Amino acid sequence: MLLVMTKSNHIRSLHKVVAYAIISVVFKRLWLSKAEMRKLMIKSMTGYGRAEIQDSDKKFTVEIKSVNHRYLDFNFRMPKKLSSFEASIRNLLKEYMQRGKVDVFIFYEDYTKERVAIQYNKEMARQYLTYFKAMSEDFDLDNNVRVSELSRYPEVLAIEEQPVDEKELWEMLAKALQEAATAFAVSREVEGKTLKGDLLDKLNSMDALTRQVEERAPEIATEYRTKIEGKVKELLADTQIEEGRIATEVVFFADKICTDEETVRLRSHIDNVKKVLDEGQGIGRKLDFIAQEMNREANTILSKANDLLTSNKAIDLKTEIEKLREQIQNIE
């Protein structure tokens, strides 16, 4: 009896372990961070994001926009006093983008009057007055310099900005950058979703054209055989036609125009593009390479085509591939 209960408890414990393991795997798959979710999404290289962060002392406004580019190229427009943060800004933004020509505009407003002070250079004013007196005596001129006039001379009065807490400044700027970059990334993802739908439509169209080329191939050989037989009968009249020679000629012709390898590879490339589209971000270059290979296969089909219908299908294929490549240029 004790043995039976021990076995029963052991089985229940084993079931619990298995259940916990299954639940753990399920939760790991469902519990994806926002960053991981973003990696699964296609992004366009065109995007825009804006954010404002403000407190009682200062205000940051950040705008980010981008267009297509082979690499990641930043162009910063910001106040000179923030230039020391450029490397940190660049590293922060790299977490949100991989390719594109990106323009970053940063506007900074300081509402604290205490940060600015006027400095009076007494020694410089004294030197000006000394020289004015000497000039008056040398050239017999009136020395009628007033305070308001003296203050306008270089370095007598200077506006000096008081030092700020750089850590506090960066924390606020980083928050504005993160919010703008997040909005920027979302805009790229929205357009990326539209691009993916358009690319899938083009791939389906290409797949249909490829199958039409495959279906047409046997018909071309049959039509060629009928054409040869007709010419031979016309030339030889009642003479017996050599079926073997005609069959050999048809086989040679069919082999010459055969595009089976090209269509098989082309459909393989189409399937590959569909798989890559599910990989998420950073796929633009890979897709561009596959599109080049697709174009080679379409060119070979066109060069082998000895049939008007097949030639037209091959031209349609090239047109769709070119449209595909144009759209791929927009993907990060």
Q: What is the pLDDT of residues 241-258, one digit of tens each?
A: 566 665 666 555 555 667
Quickly count: other Cβ atoms within 10 Å of residue 199's Cβ: 21
- Report which of residues 294 and 38 the model is more confident about: 294
204 contacts: CB under 8 Å, gap ≥ 6: none
Is residue 209 scored above 60 in pLDDT? yes
170: left (phi over 0), alpha (psi -120 to 50) or beta: alpha
What is the model's pLDDT at position 165? 77
- Taking 70 as the threshold, does the pLDDT of residue 319 lie above it? yes
Check the CA dihedral 220-223-229-235 and report its sign.
Answer: negative
Asked if pLDDT for residue 69 goes beyond 50, the answer is yes
CA–CA gap between residue 79 and residue 96 (Å, rounded)? 23
Residue 27 pLDDT class (50, 70, 90 cuts) = very low
pLDDT tens for 172-193 read: 999 999 999 999 999 999 999 9
Q: What is the pLDDT of residue 144?
A: 87
CA distance 128 to 153: 8
pLDDT at 20 over 70: no
Diameter of the chain by CA atoms?
A: 134
Taking residue 95's Cβ as centre, other Cβ atoms within 10 Å add up to 11
Tokens at 297, concatenated: 């296969």
24 pLDDT above the threshold of 80? no
Average predicted confidence (pLDDT) for the chain? 81
The winner for highest mean pLDDT among 71-75, 155-159, 299-303 is: 71-75
DSSP 243-271: HHHHHHHHHHHHHHH--HHHHHHHHHHHH
What is d(CA 287, CA 290) in angstroms, rounded to the nearest whole number? 5
Q: Which two tokens stand for residue 96?
A: 């949100």
